[in-house]
Structure 1
Amino acid sequence: MTGPLRDQPWGLKVMEYAIIKCCPNHRVNRMVWHQGGILALTYLAYTCYHMTRKPMSVVKNVLSFNCSTLSPPPNFLINSSNRDTWCDWAPFDTADAPALLGILDSAFLFAYAAAMFLSGFIAERVNLRYFLTFGMLASGISCYLFGIARPYNIHNLWYFVLVQAVGGVFQTSGWPGVVTVVGNWFGKGKRGLIFGIWNSHTSLGNILGSLIAAEFVESDWGLSFMVPGIIMGLIGFIIFLFLVPNPIDIGCIPPVSPKYRKLDAAHSSDEGSSADECENIHNRLTYRCAYREQVDVDDIENVRSETSPILPRHRHIQESDRGNAIGFMKAMMIPGVVEYSLSLFFAKLVSYTFLYWLPLYIAASTTYSTTSSANLSTFFDVGGIIGAIAAGVLSDYSGTSALTCAVMLGFAVPMLFVYDYIGSTSLATTILLLLIVGLLVNGPYALITTAVSAELGTHPSLGNNSKALATVTAIIDDMLALLLLSRLVYRDVKLFRRRRRIV
């Protein structure tokens, strides 16, 4: 008999209670069912994280426009309170508006980079359901607070800087949280394709953020932030109701590390066909949990047999699976962490430049309106979805993640020059080049931050310690970002001080 199961989500309890009442004798493959749910929930969660990051790039076009060159939207009533700010917004209505908007980006990214390391360590030590729920609610509130500046007529630069910095801190809860949850539920089989499809949440979030922001940007830019913030808060509540961070939380044995894999002549492939059954003692539902790896006989004390209906020694398995949280230096010594971290930094530098400035660049280099520029920028993220899947497939097929990343990044360099040179010549050319550049830039970005992170976080040198995953993910996601962003912050502060002296 197992000990009491860990804290289970309320929504999941209700669903299982309904299943018991409706189909008391029904037996289903519960592990597959839960894995599908985990992919869906984490996909939805991180889509929202990026959805709330994107509006800033769209709204920049109206925060810094010159009203004298534009006409107000139809049915827009100009009065004494908005006569000078209907199409721009103080303090971003001066000649150095790009520098001030750059300060907002730096505030977000600097806070994000500084807090990411701490967030990774915290994610290893707390219940990830509460961690993600709190992070999503706080991020949604931060996004909402930026939007209320318009109806409340807030023009203080430091208010915007503070909101951006706070948002950056809470946004760090997303990536270590979702990657660790997915890593807990999936084994070490070929995961490039799965993670490639799953990682499209980044691009989808950018697309949704752009479309929602574009819908309101020319009429009420505050709603461009408030609507995504509300949506994120609602999805955070859904995460609280249904997310199960680890298989052991519902009484199932998690996938076994390759270190403990046993090669069987009858089942020599990585896919395997063995199955374990575990019973949820709390609600008496029967689970059929399928696994890709078999358990070594040396690990027999942890698992009774492949057909055992219950989990023996639940606490022992829990400790073995979760392990002790590892330190920063030990995570840095995992082979490949430093190299992939440096590679990701530069890929992320390009990706985030497009994330924050592409709509403004399109509007400045073409004759398209603010709304059209925002909608057009989504093609970069459509290409990113294709690139993430392509990189995952190539990595699975070749077994060479580093080579896949190197080839795609190598082609990305000349394509960026091509886009800069002829990207604004025609609509068709712009769309085609945005698709290609998005594919080549976001492909390796997605591969490193998902499949590679999960692989390094469960490296054989760590044994069966899944707690390394959050730390490795945090390091790979932001190593050196804090140091290099400090130079940009220093530059932006100098520009701001210069502006104050002029005023």
Structure 2
Amino acid sequence: MDTLVYNSHWGLLDSLVENQELSTPFQTCASSSPLSSLIPQPSEKATAYLLDKEGDRENKERNEVVSLRYRSSILLLTFMAYTCYHLSRKSISVVKNVLNQNCSFQMPDGLNSSDIHWCDWAPFSNGYVAERVNLRYFLTFGMIMSGIFSYLFGLAYSLSIHSIWYFVIIQILAGIVQTTGWPGVVSVVGKWFGKEKRGLIFGIWNSHTSIGNILGSVIAGEFVETNWGVSFIAPGAIIAFGGFIIFLFLVENPSNVHCDLPTSGEDKGVIEFSLCLFFAKLVSYTFLYWLPLYIRSSTTLGPALSGDLSTLFDVGGIVGGIAAGVVSDYTGMYATTCSVMLTFAAPMLFVYEKFGTYNFSVNIILLLIAGLLVNGPYALITTAVSAELGTHHSLQGNSKALATVTAIIDGTGSIGAAVGPLLAGVISSRGWENVFYMLIISDIIALMVNILQTSQSELIWHSL
């Protein structure tokens, strides 16, 4: 039995513990104090709740880290994929001068300029297919087949093939498989990234178009005067290898790895943006296919150097795409951002045509500015706007919608990408200044469509 003894000399309460059941004075006081029953003690449920909350916080942080890693890999893989698509497209614009000289025929301007867009229905049909298949397989197939057809085109040099129909058939088939690229990569990226900072992310990501054009021009230019077949075979090997990488590592959907889905957008205007892209892509792809030839014919530069100089248009396009994305993120106004850039693009085309050949330095500066203003709206519409429209709240629950919207917008733009170079091939025979007038008119029409889209958005906003 415990005995409590009060030591009056020291004024202390001593505890004489005979059975050693209480090991500390705190336990003794707590058990003996009349106030101990009033002090709240942690229950088992409260402790379990706190532990669960702490576990949820740790799991959330862990999931965010995992999601960040997957999103980074998605950006890198899709960036690589579409860079390869554009890299393999660029060869024909660099090689066509030498190709016409070495063959017994003149390649038709329509095929020569818009090789991969002969089948304008392909983007629409491929968007429909992309909704219903695994996008990893879809992109892998498109990239490997693009590599095969690029190889077959270059093989004509070694086998001394001079049949026009051989080139026509190869380019038509290449055009069909090339259009698998855009619905595929935008659908994958749109599934992984929400609305926040989408313009900036897509602006940087969309530089793959310009980088692919630059690399394609450089690679094709290296062999154009010695062995033009390699100008097609080398890009074909690169894109086929890229398809193998996509097959191994691409994760198409966040739900496949238990990651959270991104938030949806609130924008509308598929028709207006599709029409705008028709004319914006018309201008961009006319430069893509005809700029090396224009530089060659208007200056004293050779084919290789003309191709290298034309890459500066794409360098400006990289800056333009990023700038458009940043501005649209800050303002939230995609149509207005496009309109401002298109407003300055039209007069800049006129300035380049009049003064671009004045000297080499002026040509460089004007090409950079023209690329910034022409490719900025094009990049914004094909990436951030397509993803915003495809993840509109009215389409929630339909994960296939993004590929459809992307295919509609890009498919309409692809028609413009075919019409522009085709018209340029016909009009250039009457003078290059007429080609530039056609491009200026196209920019003005795109601007008018964007102004209409902006006005409708303001009316909707004020009615809310």
Q: Same fold (TM over 0.5)?
A: yes
Q: Structure 2 counterpart of 1:454, which letter? A: A
Higher helix share: 2
Greater Cα shift, 472-481 or 159-168? 472-481
CA distance in 2, matches of 1:425, 1:451: 37
- Partner residue of 2:275 out of 324, 342, 361: 342
Number of aligned residue pairs: give it.
365
Which residue pairs with 1:110 in the alignment?
Answer: 118
Greater Cα shift, 415-424 or 455-464? 455-464
Q: Structure 2: state its 5+ residue gaps.
A: 1-61, 427-464
Where do residues 271-350 of structure 1 align in structure 2 (5 Å cutoff)?
Answer: 335-350=268-283
SS of residue in 2 equivalent to 1:367: coil
TM, length-normalised to structure 2: 0.75
Which residue pairs with 1:127 in the alignment?
Answer: 134
Which residue pairs with 1:90 in the alignment?
Answer: 104
Which residue pairs with 1:150 in the alignment?
Answer: 157
The Cα shift of 1:187 comes to 1.3
The Cα shift of 1:386 comes to 0.3
- Partner residue of 1:39 out of 69, 75, 82: 75
SS of residue in 1 equivalent to 2:156: coil
Distance 1:445-1:33 versus aligned 2 partners, 3 A rule: same
The Cα shift of 1:110 comes to 2.2
CA distance in 2, matches of 1:39, 1:428: 35
The Cα shift of 1:118 comes to 0.5
CA distance in 2, matches of 1:30, 1:129: 20
Contact 2:199 2:326 in 1 (8 A): yes
Contact 1:384 1:443 in 2 (8 A): yes
Show CA shifts across 1:74-123 (max 9, x none): xxxxxxxxxxxxxx32212xxxx5xx143343453121x21110000111
Which residue pairs with 2:320 in the alignment?
Answer: 387
Which residue pairs with 1:215 in the alignment?
Answer: 222
SS of residue in 2 equivalent to 1:150: helix
CA RMSD of aligned residues (A): 2.3
Contact 2:118 2:418 in 1 (8 A): yes
Contact 1:60 1:101 in 2 (8 A): no
- Partner residue of 2:85 out of 45, 49, 71: 49
The Cα shift of 1:64 comes to 2.9
CA distance in 2, matches of 1:123, 1:472: 11
SS of residue in 2 equivalent to 1:479: helix
CA distance in 2, matches of 1:490, 1:195: 31
Distance 1:37-1:106 versus aligned 2 partners, 3 A rule: closer
- Partner residue of 1:244 out of 245, 248, 251: 251
Which residue pairs with 2:173 in the alignment?
Answer: 166
Which residue pairs with 1:412 in the alignment?
Answer: 345
- Partner residue of 2:330 out of 390, 397, 401: 397
CA distance in 1, matches of 2:337, 2:292: 29
Show CA shifts across 1:153-211 (max 9, x none): 01111111111111110011100000000011111212111100000000000000000
Q: Structure 1 counterpart of 2:97, which letter? A: N
Contact 2:277 2:413 in 1 (8 A): no
CA distance in 1, matches of 2:304, 2:417: 33
Is the counterpart of residue 357 in structure 1 residue 273 in structure 2? Answer: no
Q: Structure 1: state its 5+ residue gaps.
A: 1-26, 66-87, 260-333, 494-503
The Cα shift of 1:251 comes to 2.6
Contact 1:104 1:164 in 2 (8 A): no
The Cα shift of 1:485 comes to 5.3
The Cα shift of 1:248 comes to 1.1
CA distance in 2, matches of 1:353, 1:453: 22
Contact 1:384 1:441 in 2 (8 A): yes
Show CA shifts across 1:223-270 (max 9, x none): 0000000011111100000000001112323224369xxxxxxxxxxx
The Cα shift of 1:467 comes to 1.4
Distance 1:107-1:384 versus aligned 2 partners, 3 A rule: closer
Contact 1:257 1:464 in 2 (8 A): no
CA distance in 1, matches of 2:349, 2:425: 25
Q: Structure 2 counterpart of 1:158, which letter? A: W
Distance 1:487-1:34 versus aligned 2 partners, 3 A rule: closer
TM, length-normalised to structure 1: 0.69
Is the counterpart of residue 466 in structure 1 residue 371 in structure 2? Answer: no
